[in-house]
Amino acid sequence: MTPQTDALLRTRVLHALDDVTDPEIPVLTIADLGILRDVRVHNGVVDVTITPTYSGCPAMNMIALDIETALARAGIENFHVKTTLSPAWTTAWLSEVGRQKLLAYGIAPPQEGSGRGSLFGTVEVACPQCGSTDTSRLAEFGSTSCKALWRCNTCREPFDYFRCH
């Protein structure tokens, strides 16, 4: 194996991983979500590194399995999928494309500059349906670990908010 063939293989791997999505938010690829940390190829051996959004994220095993399936389907055989915790995933890892996809899917994306400051301050969340910022939080913990349940006071629709982290 030469560095050139390794580079080519890496391109094939990245292409194959474009089809791997978060099982709970199927519009987001693992790259959009920012949980695909690293793809390294050395002497024909592929190392894919992913990171969990939450410690107990039940989707991690399934995502690892989906990656293995996608690579095998692309005819890539020699690979390892590893998990890393550091640097910890935060919503800052979510790509701009990812944020747009979330909004189009009806999930309010996390607020910019999210972190501890905004966690305990007041956040303004726009309704993904009508755009109104007159919204209120119904529940801190929503349908998955990464979402909270909100309601729009203008169009009265409930919606998911991707929690800042």
Amino acid, single-letter form, for residue 97: V
Smallest gap from residue 90 Cβ to another protein (A): 7
Gap between the Cα atoms of 60 and 64, Å rounded: 6
Residues paired with 139 in a beta bridge: 149
Smallest gap from residue 85 Cβ to another protein (A): 4
Confirm if 35 and 89 have CB atoms less than 8 A apart.
yes
Stretch of 15-23, 49-57, 70-78, 94-102 lying at the interface with another protein (CB under 8 A)? 49-57
Q: Work out which of 40, 139, 153, 156 binds another protein, going by CB under 8 A.
A: 139
Q: Work out which of 5, 119, 134, 154 binds another protein, going by CB under 8 A.
A: 119
Structure token pair of residue 87: 């640097």
Stretch of 5-13, 68-76, 123-131, 132-140 lying at the interface with another protein (CB under 8 A)? 132-140
| Helices and strands (H and E) in the chain: how many | 5, 9
Q: If binding is defined by CB under 8 A, does position 163 make contact with another protein?
A: yes
Segment 72 to 111, residues that bind another protein, using CB under 8 A: 84-90
Gap between the Cα atoms of 33 and 27, Å rounded: 10
Amino acid, single-letter form, for residue 23: P
Site for another protein, rule CB under 8 A: 52, 54-58, 84-90, 116, 119-120, 138-143, 145, 149, 163, 165
